[in-house]
Amino acid sequence: MDLEEIVVHLFSPPRNTSTNLTTTTGSNFKSQISNHFMFIHYNNCISTQQTFEKTDLEILHETVDNKLKAIEPSYEGIPPGILRRMGKAVRMGVGCALPALQEASQANGIIIGTANGGMEDCIRFLNQIIDYEEGMLTPGNFVQSTPNAIAAQLGLMTRNKQYNITHVHRGLAFENALLDAMMKLRELPDAIYLLAAVDEISDYNYNIDYLDGWYKKEPVKSKDLYSASTTGSLAGEGAATFIVNNREANAVACIKGIQTLHTTNENTVKQACSEFLSKHLKPGEKPDICITGENGDSRMLKYYSAVESVFDEATTIARFKHMSGEFPTASAIALWLACNLHSLPAHCIKKQGTVKHAENIIIYNHYKGSQHAFIWVQRLEKIKPGLH
């Protein structure tokens, strides 16, 4: 039993209750399934599109040098003395979460998912060590460079001394944060948590991933991302924040299930998708919309095609990476989109389904072809997908 399984077992009731289980099928297939219902209330997003304060996704903000950079607000809630020390990831994370914490000032914890945190500041600090021959170093970059600086800053600024944790599981950092929130809400049913995800484009990460073939070599516009037949994607960044609890009243959406798995085999992904659907949907029920993380990388299309093949003509297929770019916690943007489906523009729709409303939403995303996740979101307001 590995650590992942141990954690799930620790927080799981006995198997025969069917409320939580861990499955292992083959050497490369490990998954977590939790169907504790968690309700999303306030949600917020700083992304590469106009999503903060006033949402307008019809106008597509274009790439610059194959990078989709976040549209940052003026961060009026952050004191200038603190703001000037913040790196971009910390700025986006804190700036996105502060309004949410104002809505839920009695939050019982802050749960953040970030693969890299403030990598730009981290590299600046490490370069200082070399440049100044391990001499006197400035503390600012160091303080801001650790991934948990975002949750820590939020705790300090809002004087929230409760549960404060940062999950850094690369492409599943947000999913693990989400799973943590669900487990915490099972332990403390009356609690309320801030759940967030953030990642930035840093020169260091971009250059390494570019050389490793994860970003496109040729200039590609956002709107042409899916028609490009080359490898690599567009770099992206962003932050999304959710206030979650167990109370259905006034909630915008409900997380009904999440499953993560590590595999490079598309057939395993397809099988996991089928099992996920059969576990969560009633017989005869079909997902209304599937939001996939298709990212324009020709090598990665097989996973998305495998998942899409599970759905029939009823289900609408939507994509979002042409808006957000690719980054490890991009699935948080998809969850924000699911919560704000009324804003979903036509350019997100890959295949229009026959269903008349969008209630059951499946989010499928993977990172670098090995870390996969399915999230089942149920909207608590019925709307028509892609017809706005």
Give the C-alpha separation, 364 to 368, whole Å.
Answer: 13
Helices and strands (H and E) in the chain: how many: 12, 13
By CB atoms closer than 10 A (0-12, 13-18, 19+), residue 327 is: buried
Q: Which of 14, 81, 219, 284 binds other proteins (CB under 8 A)?
A: 81
Alpha carbon separation from 67 to 96, 122, 265, 291 (Å, rounded):
21, 20, 29, 22
Q: At 120, is the secondary structure helix, strand, or coil?
A: helix
Q: Supply the minimum distance, in Å, between the C-beta of residue 96 and other proteins.
A: 20
Give the C-alpha separation, 105 to 109, whole Å.
Answer: 10
Closest CA to 45 of 33, 57, 53, 56: 53
Q: Which of 2, 17, 80, 133 binds other proteins (CB under 8 A)?
A: 80
Q: Judged by CB under 8 A, does residue 129 bind other proteins?
A: no
Give the C-alpha separation, 283 to 277, whole Å.
Answer: 10
- Residue (80 or 219) nearer to other proteins, CB: 80
Taking CB under 8 A as the rule, which mask of x and - marks residues 141-170 in contact with other proteins? --x---------------------------
Q: Supply the minimum distance, in Å, between the C-beta of residue 241 and other proteins.
A: 25
Cβ contacts of residue 249 below 8 Å, gap of 6+? Answer: none
Interface segment toward other proteins; rule CB under 8 A; list 77-85, 160-168, 233-241, 293-301:
77-85
Q: Supply the minimum distance, in Å, between the C-beta of residue 238 and other proteins.
A: 22
- Residue (32 or 144) nearer to other proteins, CB: 144
Q: Which of 73, 77, 140, 345 binds other proteins (CB under 8 A)?
A: 140
Phi-psi region of 159 (alpha: psi -120 to 50; beta: other; left: phi over 0): left
Interface segment toward other proteins; rule CB under 8 A; list 138-146, 308-316, 337-345, 364-372:
138-146
Q: Supply the minimum distance, in Å, between the C-beta of residue 139 and other proteins.
A: 6
Taking CB under 8 A as the rule, which mask of x and - marks residues 89-128 in contact with other proteins? ----------------------------------------
Alpha carbon separation from 172 to 5, 169, 262 (Å, rounded):
15, 5, 10
Q: Supply the minimum distance, in Å, between the C-beta of residue 205 and other proteins.
A: 22
Give the C-alpha separation, 377 to 287, whole Å.
Answer: 10
Question: 323 and 221 in contact (C-beta within 8 Å)?
Answer: no
- Residue (86 or 361) nearer to other proteins, CB: 86
Question: 94 and 85 in contact (C-beta within 8 Å)?
Answer: no
Q: Supply the minimum distance, in Å, between the C-beta of residue 70 and other proteins.
A: 17
Q: Judged by CB under 8 A, does residue 85 bind other proteins?
A: yes
Q: Determine the size of the site formed for other proteins (CB under 8 A).
A: 12
- Residue (120 or 359) nearer to other proteins, CB: 120
Q: Give, as one character, the DSSP assignment of residue 107.
A: -
- Residue (14 or 80) nearer to other proteins, CB: 80
Radius of gyration of the chain (CA): 20
Q: Supply the minimum distance, in Å, between the C-beta of residue 80 and other proteins.
A: 7
Question: 68 and 222 in contact (C-beta within 8 Å)?
Answer: yes
Give the C-alpha separation, 112 to 243, whole Å.
Answer: 12
Q: Which of 9, 58, 127, 132 binds other proteins (CB under 8 A)?
A: 132
- Residue (122 or 240) nearer to other proteins, CB: 122
Q: Which of 9, 15, 84, 217 binds other proteins (CB under 8 A)?
A: 84
Residue spans of alpha helices (H) in 146-195: 149-158, 173-187
Q: Judged by CB under 8 A, does residue 33 bind other proteins?
A: no
Binding positions for other proteins, rule: CB under 8 A: 80-81, 84-85, 132, 135-140, 143
